Structure formats: C-alpha cells, structure tokens
C-alpha cells in the first residue's frame, strides 16, 4: 500500500448511528470510554426516523393493569415462542426506564390527561403501551439521542477544551471490514464516503448497530443504508447469525403511486379505526383470524367497532392481528383476484373517522400522502400491500451482555442482532429493543475494555492491506459489471424467490442464482473517482447484501414450517418440533454453513405466566409433559409450604 | 415506458463545475429523486446525491430545483410542465463536495454551540409531568427533520459567508424557541442566548425559511417573532420599544450595538434581454433577479412601520412580484467557491 491510511485509536467503536448505536455510544461514554460513532449517513439521518408508531414499554400510564409480565407474554406470543426468552424478559423489564430516561434528555412525548407519557394501542399488544409523539416517534428518539450526544460533547469541552475529546461522530463513513486478532476484535477498517479516503480504527471493542437488510428486496420500506453491513461484518469476523429466515413484511406499505412504493402506512391507522377492504368492498380480516387468536378477536363488525371506545368489554378488531397474519391475509386476497391492479388492497380510515380526528391522530401520515402522492387520506382510501420491513434474524448474542458468542469484543444491538423478536416482531418493540440493548451493549463493551487492561489485540498490517485492496478493487477493475444492474438482479431474485410466501423449488432456484451473482459481484466495477462516488459505494455494499441474502435463502429452505415472518406454501402450519430449533449461519472459508441449535427453554417462573391451553398450541407432547411435571412439582412445593 | 424529459444537473466539485444536460425517462407518479436515481443507474453511475428514506422523513435529499430549495423526494414531477427543463443544483449556501452533495458541517457546529436541555433538578425520571397543551408548542419545532432548507434559503448567510460566524440560522432559532417553551427546561436564558450568541437580530423576518420548510413549521411566526418580541420585552424600556415601532430608524437616537447590515446593497437590476442561452462551463456570477421595486403606499413612500404594513415581515428579498420556481431558461447557476 502506498497510501497513508488515516488512523484513529478508540476504546469503543460503534458502527451505526441509529437509535441502538447512539444509545450504546452514550453508555460507553458515560462509562468513561473514548468512543467513536461511525455513520454511513449524516448524523441524525438514521433509519430509526422512519419508525412511526411508538416505543413499547409497560409503564401502565393508560391502563394500570399493564406490567412487564404482560409485555413479555405479548412479545413471546408475537414471536411464536421462538424468541430468546431472556432477551424478551430484559426488554420488557427495562423498557420503561429507558423511555423515562429519554425525558431527562429532553424528549417530549404526547401526554395523558394527568400529564404522564401517553400510550397507544398497537397490534399484538394487550394494553395501550406505545409511548409516542404523533406519528413521528422515531424522529423524536433520534433527535433526543443526538442532542444527548451533543450535550455530552459539551461537557467534555468544558472539561478538556475539545468537543471530541471522548465522543466523536464520523459521519458519512463506511466500515468494510472488522480486523480480528486471535478471536478478539482489534480494529475496524473503512473509507470516508465524502473523500474516498481510507480509514483505520484501532479498537478492542466494536458494537454493531447497523440495522437491517431490506435493500436486498425490490419493495421495501428500508433506506439505502440497509444493506446488511453489520450482519456481513460479523460473519466475516467469525461470528454467527441466527433466525435469518425470518423477515417481517409490513402488511401495509404503499403500493401506489410507484415513486412511494414500499413506504409504510403505520399500524396506528388501524389502531385508530382504519379497516382493510378488498376491491369488492368487503372488510375481509374477519375471515383470517387463526385459531390461536380466535378468543381474543371480535367476530362481528359491530363488536369490533365497539372496541375502539370500550376495549374492556369488547374483543379487538381483527385488523389488529399481528403483522404476519395481516400480511398473509392481504396476500391471499390479492392472489384470489380481489386486489387492485398494483397488487394491493384498500386501507380505509376516511369513511370511518372525521377529517379532524385523522389530522390530529395521524398528522405526518396525512402530510406524507398529500405531499408525496397527492392522496388525501381524510377523503379517500389508501392502496396498500406487504413491503419488506424488518429482519428478525441477526447476529447471535448473549442476552445479558449483547456480546457475540464467537468473537471477543464484538457486540450487537438493535435490528442487527437476532433472537429478541423470535419469528416475528411486535410493532413498537423495535424502538424499545434498541434502547434496552443499545444501553446494555455500551455498558458491557466498556466492561470488556476494562477487563482487557493494557493487553489490547493488535491490528496486523497484512489484514489492513487486504482490506484496502478489497475496497479499492472496483475502482481499479476495468470492464467490471455495472453495480446498479447487479443490485437490481439481486433484488429480483430475493423479491420473487425468497419473498413473503416461499416454496422449496423457488428457494433452491434462488440459491443457484445467488451463486451466479456471487461470481459476478466479485467482478463488479465502478467508474469515476473516489470523491463521493455512489456507484463505488454500491459496488462495495453488494457483497454484504449477497452474503446476507444467501443466509436468508438457506435458512428459509431448511425450515420446513410456517412461523411468523417465514411462510412456506409447502409447509403451511407451525410445527412444535421446529419451535425448539434456531438455525445458525456461519462462514466456513467463503461458504455459508447452516447449523441447527436448540432454542433456550424458558424457566418455570416465566412458563407460569402462560396458560397451559395456550402453550399446548406451541409445544411438543414431550415438552408439555415436562411442563406438567414442573407445575405438579411446584404445587407439591406450595402444598408443603402451606402445611 | 414514460416520456423522455430534459434535465440540467450541476456536476462538479469544489474546483468548479457546470450544468450538464440529460434526457431521461420519467414515469407517472415519480419525483425528482427517482429521476436522479435513474440517471445513476443508466447514465452517470457516479452522480453524487445524498438521500436516505425517500419518504420526506429524514431530510437528506435537500437540493435546489429550478432555483428553489426542495427535498428531491418530495418534488413531484407532475408539478412541472412536460416540456419544461428541470434544473437541479446543490444547496447554494454550503460548500460543494461533489455534484449535488454539499458540506453541511456549518449546521452541526451551530448545533453544538446550543446549550443542551437542562433537566429540572429534583425530578426523578418517570416523574416528569407536563400537559399536552404545553408540550405541543415545542413539539411543533421538534418536527424538524434537519434538511437545512431554511438554512440554505436564509439570505443572511446565502451568498454572505461572512455572516456565518455570528448567525446560527432558522433551524437553531427554532431549537432555542423549543427549549425556551419546554415546560421543564431548567435554563431560563434561552432568549438572551438567541439574541446574544445566535445572531437573532440579523433576521429581518422575510419568512423565506417558513416558505421552504417541508414540515410546514411556522418558523417565523411561531419561533422567531415570539423570541424577538420577548427579547425586546426583556431588554428594552417599553417606551423605547414603542418608539421603535412608530419612528423610522433614522429618527431614533443611537441604539446599543445594532447588527451590521445583512443584505448587501443592491445593484440596479440588469436590463432584461429576453430568454438567452448561457453556454455551459462559463464562469459568471448570479445576476440579481429583477422585480425588486419596493412596495409603496399611495403617497409613493414605503410604510414606516410594521404596524401600517400589510404583512408581518419585510418584503421578499427576491421582490414580491417574483414567483418560484424561476423559469429554468433564465436560471444561471454557478456554485460559490469556498474562497469567494
């Protein structure tokens, strides 16, 4: 290498400046660590701003019956009991503190009459639970964390004279490789997007907070940043990914007009009275209530409509079923020929609520449709359909510490981590997830650095040179393939063959085509120079999207059942045997290898939160027998205590 | 397959550049950012443009379309005539990095100068109590997506780099107002800060910032004017204040340090020579738009005070009879160099 590579030395490097990354950085800095935040975009532009509904936390401000146990139960049910129970437990217990903490940073949530944080209903949550600010909660969260970072920088300046003494944001910077020394993180290598200059961070701890993978799909609500960078970095560093077959397709994304295809319509449109209708004008969700939910959802339109004003005495409208059920129902309607030309159905709130109500409750929704599509949601229905929204799968981590299990010093939080949401995420759980585990990742990363003392892993020159060569490859290649065309082909493969409804032969076909693409992507070229060159940036992101797509396709082929965000047409039912299994992806050489691993089983204290009759739908016969013996054992213990 | 439409896109870097002509397919329902993406995919893979959400929520794709600061993702192609050439240029107020991407670090520096929210002492997390009606005022300003369109359009710093040091810009006036109106912020000197440190006095409420705000935040009416009025309340004797309202400035006794003039003396508008084509790559300076005649009363004089004027602010610096977008044929664009 002839180029002088810019070098920085930090205690903790956080990759990703969304909610999880910023929260992690705050915690690492509060623990006294010199911390760098790496952002692919400008500071404050993270994908977190897209979250509209709110942040789920059992504060019980609106319904005092709510508590962490109810929240935990809802989360496990939503994830079809494939969740890492410990993550779901920590999440439910700590979410309220994380939300309240935001108020001390300056956040202004909507209020209840008695001045507390207001909470709204959301699909899959038993009680009103989502702290919100109109429908721009994600923006409030990012701005609050961004301003907290600034306030910490101001404290550092007062103390040391420099804003960046202990906390620095590297905006528009992409990490392309993690550098590992004997199974321990030694550094991170990347380039500045603006100048194209290479940069090396020497650090013993890296927190991945890079978000999701949606840009591998054609119809997606995700921004360009969602290229699976963290997933791919972790894999290449030797860590593993779990649950990669589970992708959430948000049931209500805009399908018309084309310029806004994929953009989400928040679930609160349904929470506030919106209903789904097919082209025949039928409110069809009543036909799609699965047996496991039968007792909790209304059977008639009258009862459903009464629920909005009297939730205690009526059952919920079926429009508020978990997201995968709604997505599947819409898909079925469209396939049955009752969808619109662009492959969607209608979401109608205009005919059910007065215009003032809609404007008050869904201001940015109204604004977005009006400005982007010239559609007035107070007078006409929206045309919506499923859009790729969230990946439940991600880096395999320890529940308490957010540390990866195979590489020391590597942590992951937020969407890039896996396990918390099981096979399907409840709306509102992602914002609280990233606060809870962002904080934990920052805390444990700081602790890990303390534990290392003076003996920090070393970056090897050979690794740096190899990483630099990879980054500069596309620019130096003459006659390489056009990155935009390759990207388009990758999206077509994933959208058509590994989409919302999956089939064995299509998944096999997708693996063949991904293998072809892998060779072609290795030969991708970029024209132009290094100064802010999007073609080059895309060429580098492609290999991440490819490897993550391969994990998804392989795991989807292996899992022969339908559960949450994974629907197999050839295996339409849930299978209790599969509930016990997490599929884990890791690299062997350059190849993705898949292994089955048992899902951690819930201890009796948590199992006791569920009815046996409910568990019977999820557990195998042997597990149920075991459950019964534990319960019997408890009763014996209880009786003894009484005697 | 949509129709082919004509685009002019500024391409270059800090060393200079020019408008380049493109013919590109446009389909029904598309926005300007879609077209720029199509250019990237089909004609110019290295065309630099910032974007993220493509949904008007992140404020990344700020650019100037036919001379008007806009979000690329929120500018529908249907707002232009089919035979119209659409001209896309980078934000003028900030130094260009490459093509449509500018260096907006000015804004982040101003954000860092702003003292953070000061939590009330003795109130534990979870014990914060506020009424909806009280948080709503600040919430309006927290809708800000930091697209910096207000910053680029503000004539105090647009083409006046020398004012950047002392002037924080509309984005940070609403931040000051937000904290000032926050029911529990423990700091009480937000208005003084806006006046003394942020250069609030430079603003002569032309409302250009409000006009370009994609979130429709009433920056001038709800943040700047209340801040100015309260600053005045606090800092000046009421009689002096009244005097300022009813006398012309030259009739007033000398004041405490007035901000220096913010609008450069205007050249007489150049004679209009009809629509003329300007060759690409020529270095020229942005001509003053015509139509700068002042609004005068029946006596042929300008109104003396805001009280008798028909609007809250001064006249538009572009002239009240100039409508946007400007016709692209007469739009000359040369991005200011950093050493200008």
Backbone angles phi, psi at A563, to 5 degrees: -155, 130
Kindly state whether residue B93 falls inside one of the protein's structural domains.
yes
Same-domain status, B121 and B85: no
Nearest by CB to residue A163, choosing from B104, B112, B143, is B112
Shared-domain flag, residues B131 and B228: yes
Domain check: are B10 and B132 in the same one?
no
Test A223 with B135 for CB contact under 8 angstroms: no
Between CA B114 and CA B185 the distance in angstroms is 14
Let me know whether B71 and B8 are in one domain: yes
Residue A249: beta bridge partners? A388
Query: Do the domain assignments include residue B31?
Result: yes
Whether A456 is catalytic: no
Report the pLDDT averaged over residues B154-170: 94
Number of domains in chain B: 2
* Residue A372 per-residue DSSP state: H
Chain-chain contact of B56 with A97 (C-beta, under 8 angstroms): no
In eight-state DSSP terms, residue B337 is P
Asked if the Cβ–Cβ distance from A224 to B51 is below 8 Å, we say: yes
As a whole number, mean pLDDT of residues A153-177 equals: 97
Stretch A43-58: mean pLDDT: 92
Report the CATH number that the domain containing residue B119 is assigned in CATH: 1.10.1060.10
B201 within some domain: yes
**Of the ranges A39-48, A369-378, A382-391, B197-206, which one carries the lowest mean pLDDT score?**
A369-378
Q: Residue A538: enclosing H or E segment and its boundaries? A: helix A534-558
Domain boundary among B101, B126, B158: B101
Residue B9, SS3? strand
For residue range A181-225, list pLDDT tens digits in order.
999 999 999 999 999 999 999 999 999 999 999 999 988 888 888
For B29, the closest of A42, A258, A535 (CB atoms) is A258
Residue B117 is assigned to a structural domain of this protein = yes
A-chain CB neighbours of B104 within 8 Å are 42
Of the partner residues B98, B179, B215, the one whose CB lies closest to the CB of residue A532: B98
**Catalytic status, residue A270:** yes
Query: Which of A23, A77, A168, A250 does the annotation list as catalytic?
Result: A250
Judge if B43 and B61 occupy the same domain.
yes
B57, B70, B135, B145: best mutation site toward chain A, by most A Cβ within 10 Å? B57
Q: Is A360 on the interface with B (CB under 8 A)?
A: no
- Lowest-confidence region among A176-185, A263-272, A281-290: A263-272
Say whether both B60 and B143 belong to one domain.
no
pLDDT of residue A271: 86
Q: Supply the pLDDT for residue A572.
A: 86
Q: Give me the residues of A, 55-84, that contact B with CB < 8 A.
A: 59
- The residue out of B101, B126, B141 marking a domain boundary is B101
| Residue A19: closest CA among A426, A542, A417 | A417
Helices (H), chain B: 32-42, 105-113, 132-142, 149-153, 170-181, 190-196, 208-212, 225-235, 238-246
Chain A residues within an 8 Å CB radius of B111: 150
Q: How close is the nearest chain B Cα to the Cα of A209, in Å? A: 17
Q: What is the CATH number of the domain that holds B76?
A: 3.10.20.30
Would the CB atoms of A531 and B78 count as touching at under 8 Å?
A: no
Q: Say if residues A171 and A156 touch (Cβ distance below 8 Å).
A: no
Interface probe, candidates A46, A151, A259, chain B, greatest B C-beta count within 10 A: A259
Domain residues for the domain of B73 are 3-101
Q: Nearest Cα to A599, choosing from A386, A388, A422?
A: A422
Other beta carbons less than 10 A from residue B95's beta carbon: 19
Q: What is the mean pLDDT of residues A608-630?
A: 89
Please indicate, yes or no, if residue B269 is contained in any of the structural domains. Answer: no
CATH of domain A6-246+392-453: 3.50.50.60
Mutate to test the interface with B, among A532, A539, A542 (most CBs of B within 10 A): A532
Give A100's contacts in chain B (Cβ within 8 Å). 125-126, 128
In a domain, B125, yes or no: yes
Report, as an integer, the average pLDDT of B249-266.
Answer: 46
Domain membership of residue B180 (yes or no) is: yes
**Domain covering A248-389, topology:** Flavocytochrome C3; Chain A, domain 1 (3.90.700)
CA distances for A613 relative to A82, A207, A325, A617, B113, angstroms: 18, 41, 21, 7, 59
String of DSSP letters for B164-191: TTT---HHHHHHHHHHHH-TT-----HH
Confidence of residue A263 (pLDDT cuts 50, 70, 90): confident
Out of B29, B40, B58, whose CB is closest to A49? B58
- Within this chain, do residues B88 and B162 fall inside the same structural domain, yes or no? no
d(CA B50, CA A534): 9
Instruction: Using pLDDT thresholds of 50, 70 and 90, give the confidence band for residue A325.
Output: confident
pLDDT digits (tens, 9 = 90+) for A170-181: 999 999 999 999
Q: Are residues B36 and B60 in the same domain?
A: yes
Domain boundary among B101, B123, B158: B101
The answer on B206 and B130 residing in a single domain is yes
Q: What is the ipTM of this complex?
A: 0.87
């Amino acid at each position: 290498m002839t180029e002088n590579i810019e070098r920085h030395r930090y205690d903790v490097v956080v990759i990703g400046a969304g909610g999880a990354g910023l929260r992690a950085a705050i915690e690492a800095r509060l623990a006294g660590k010199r911390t760098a935040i790496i952002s692919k975009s400008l500071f404050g532009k993270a994908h977190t701003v897209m979250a509209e509904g709110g942040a789920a936390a059992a504060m019980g401000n609106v319904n005092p019956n709510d508590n962490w146990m109810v929240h935990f139960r809802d989360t496990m049910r939503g994830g079809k009991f494939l969740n890492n129970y410990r993550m779901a437990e920590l999440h439910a217990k700590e979410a309220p503190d994380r939300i309240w903490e935001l108020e001390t940073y300056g956040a202004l949530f909507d209020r209840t009459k008695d001045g507390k944080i207001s909470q709204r209903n959301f699909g899959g949550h038993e009680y009103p639970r989502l702290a919100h600010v109109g429908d721009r909660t994600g923006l409030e969260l990012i701005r609050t964390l961004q301003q907290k970072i600034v306030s910490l920088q101001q404290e550092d300046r007062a103390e040391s004279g420099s804003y960046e003494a202990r906390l620095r944001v590297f905006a528009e910077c992409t990490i392309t490789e993690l550098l590992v020394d004997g199974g321990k993180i030694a550094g991170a290598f990347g380039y500045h997007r603006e100048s194209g200059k290479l940069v090396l961070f020497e650090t013993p701890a890296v927190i991945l907070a890079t978000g999701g993978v949606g840009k591998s799909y054609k119809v997606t609500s995700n921004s360009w940043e969602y290229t699976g960078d963290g997933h791919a970095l972790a894999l290449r560093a030797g860590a593993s990914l779990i649950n990669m077959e589970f992708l959430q397709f948000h049931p209500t994304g805009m399908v018309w007009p084309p310029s806004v295809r994929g953009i989400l319509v928040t679930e609160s449109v349904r929470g506030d009275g919106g209903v789904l209708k097919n082209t025949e004008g039928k409110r069809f969700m009543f036909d799609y209530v699965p047996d496991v939910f039968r007792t909790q959802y209304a059977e008639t339109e009258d009862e459903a409509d009464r629920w909005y004003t009297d939730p205690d005495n009526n059952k919920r409208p079926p429009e508020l079923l978990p997201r995968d059920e709604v997505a599947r129902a819409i898909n079925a309607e469209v396939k049955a020929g009752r969808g619109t030309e662009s492959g969607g159905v209608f979401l109608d709130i205009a005919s059910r609520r007065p215009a003032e109500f809609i404007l008050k409750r869904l201001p940015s929704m109204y604004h977005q449709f009006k400005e982007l599509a010239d559609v007035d949601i107070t007078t006409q229905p929206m045309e919506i359909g499923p859009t790729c929204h969230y990946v439940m799968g991600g880096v395999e981590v320890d529940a308490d510490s957010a540390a990866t299990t195979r590489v020391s010093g590597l942590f992951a939080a937020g969407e890039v981590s896996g396990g918390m949401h099981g096979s399907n995420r409840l709306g509102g759980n992602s914002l609280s997830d990233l606060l809870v585990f962002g904080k934990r990742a920052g805390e444990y990363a700081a602790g890990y650095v303390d534990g290392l003392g003076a003996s920090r892993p070393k970056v090897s020159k050979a690794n740096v040179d190899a990483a630099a060569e990879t980054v500069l490859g596309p620019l130096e290649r003459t006659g390489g393939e056009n990155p935009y065309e390759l990207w388009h082909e990758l999206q077509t493969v994933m959208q058509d063959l590994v989409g919302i409804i999956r089939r064995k032969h299509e998944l096999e076909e997708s693996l063949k085509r991904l293998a072809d693409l892998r060779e072609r992507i290795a030969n991708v070229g970029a024209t132009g120079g290094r100064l802010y060159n999007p073609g080059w940036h895309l060429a580098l992101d492609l290999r991440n999207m490819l490897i993550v797509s391969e994990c998804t396709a392989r795991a989807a082929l292996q899992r022969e059942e339908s559960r949450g965000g994974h629907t197999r047409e050839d295996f339409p039912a849930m299978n209790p045997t599969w509930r016990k299994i997490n599929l884990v992806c890791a690299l062997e050489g350059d190849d993705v290898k898949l292994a089955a691993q048992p899902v951690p089983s819930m201890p009796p204290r948590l199992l006791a939160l569920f009815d046996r009759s409910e568990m019977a739908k999820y557990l195998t016969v042997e597990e149920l027998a075991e459950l019964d013996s534990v319960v019997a054992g408890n009763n014996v213990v209880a009786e003894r205590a009484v005697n | 397959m949509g129709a082919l439409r004509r685009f002019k896109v500024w391409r270059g870097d800090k060393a200079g550049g020019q408008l380049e002509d493109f013919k590109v397919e446009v389909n029904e329902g598309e926005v300007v950012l879609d077209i720029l993406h199509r250019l990237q995919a089909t004609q110019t893979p290295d065309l630099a443009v910032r974007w993220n959400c493509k949904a008007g929520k992140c404020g990344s794709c700020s650019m100037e379309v036919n001379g008007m600061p806009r979000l690329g993702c929120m500018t529908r192609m249907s707002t232009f005539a089919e035979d119209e050439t659409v001209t896309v240029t980078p934000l003028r107020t900030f130094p260009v990095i490459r093509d449509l991407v500018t260096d907006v670090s000015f804004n982040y520096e101003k954000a860092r100068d702003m003292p953070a929210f000061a939590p009330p002492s003795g109130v534990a997390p979870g014990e914060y109590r506020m009424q909806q009606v009280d948080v709503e005022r600040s919430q309006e300003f927290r809708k800000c997506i930091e697209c910096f369109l207000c910053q680029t359009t503000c004539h105090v710093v647009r083409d006046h780099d020398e004012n950047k040091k002392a002037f924080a810009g509309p984005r940070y006036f609403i931040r000051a107002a937000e904290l000032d109106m926050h029911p529990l912020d423990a700091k009480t000197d937000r208005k003084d800060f806006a006046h003394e440190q942020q250069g609030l006095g430079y603003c002569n409420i032309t409302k250009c910032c409000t006009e370009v705000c994609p979130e429709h935040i009433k920056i001038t009416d709800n943040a700047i004017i209340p801040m100015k009025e309260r600053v005045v309340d606090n800092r000046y004797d009421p009689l002096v204040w009244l005097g300022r309202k009813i006398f012309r400035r030259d009739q007033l006794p000398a004041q405490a340090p007035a901000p220096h003039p913010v609008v450069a003396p205007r050249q007489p508008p150049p004679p209009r020579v009809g629509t003329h084509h300007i060759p690409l790559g020529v270095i020229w300076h942005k001509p003053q738009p015509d139509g700068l005649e002042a609004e005068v009363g029946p006596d042929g004089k300008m109104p003396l005070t805001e009280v008798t004027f028909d609007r809250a602010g001064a006249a538009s610096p572009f002239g009240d009879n100039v409508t946007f977008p400007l016709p692209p044929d007469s739009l000359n664009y040369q991005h200011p160099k950093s050493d200008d």
